[in-house]
């Protein structure tokens, strides 16, 4: 399986997550609101469980490099894999990051 197909699949999951986020938060708010009746909270929890069949889950989205689409060795602060981070840091494209010497 190529990295391009993985990248496309991950982007589709990210778009689905963004579309379902407001609905998910509304169901979550209702399910956790203790002032509401138990049956309303239960229905909200069931709707939350059945939301989009797993495609809109936050855990389904994998951290990927924004430059290459690589799925391993990602530095979350920068969104880059370790190799791309090194290249950009050495060329001075990342402000405030430079090679350490001691």
Is the pLDDT reported for residue 39 higher than 70? Answer: yes
Q: Which SS3 state, helix, strand or coil, does residue 80 take?
A: strand
Residue ranges, comma separated, of all CATH 4.10.830.10 domains in the chain are 64-102
| Mean pLDDT value of segment 32-37 | 92
Is the pLDDT reported for residue 59 higher than 80? Answer: no
- Spell out the residues 6+ positions from residue 13 whose beta carbon is closer than 8 angstroms to its own: 55, 56, 60, 61
Give the pLDDT of residue 79. 87
**What angle in degrees, to the nearest 10, is found between the helix axes of 3-32 and 38-49?**
180
> How much is the mean pLDDT over the chain?
84
- Spell out the residues 6+ positions from residue 62 whose beta carbon is closer than 8 angstroms to its own: 10, 71
**pTM for this entry:** 0.57
Look up residue 12 and give its two tokens. 């589709």
Going by pLDDT thresholds of 50, 70 and 90, the confidence category of residue 18 is: confident
Q: Which SS3 state, helix, strand or coil, does residue 81 take?
A: strand
- Higher-confidence residue of 9 and 1: namely 9
For the domain 64-102, what is the CATH superfamily, name and number?
Ribosomal Protein S14/S29 (4.10.830.10)
């Amino acid at each position: 399986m190529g990295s391009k197909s993985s990248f496309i699949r991950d982007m589709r999951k990210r778009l689905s997550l963004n579309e379902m986020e407001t609905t998910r938060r509304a169901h979550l708010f209702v399910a956790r609101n203790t002032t509401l009746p138990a049956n309303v909270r239960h229905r909200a929890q069931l709707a939350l469980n059945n939301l989009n069949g797993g495609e809109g889950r936050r855990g389904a989205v994998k951290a990927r490099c924004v430059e290459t689409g690589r799925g391993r060795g990602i530095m979350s602060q920068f969104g880059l894999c370790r190799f791309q981070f090194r290249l950009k840091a050495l060329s001075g494209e990342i402000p405030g990051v430079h090679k350490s010497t001691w």
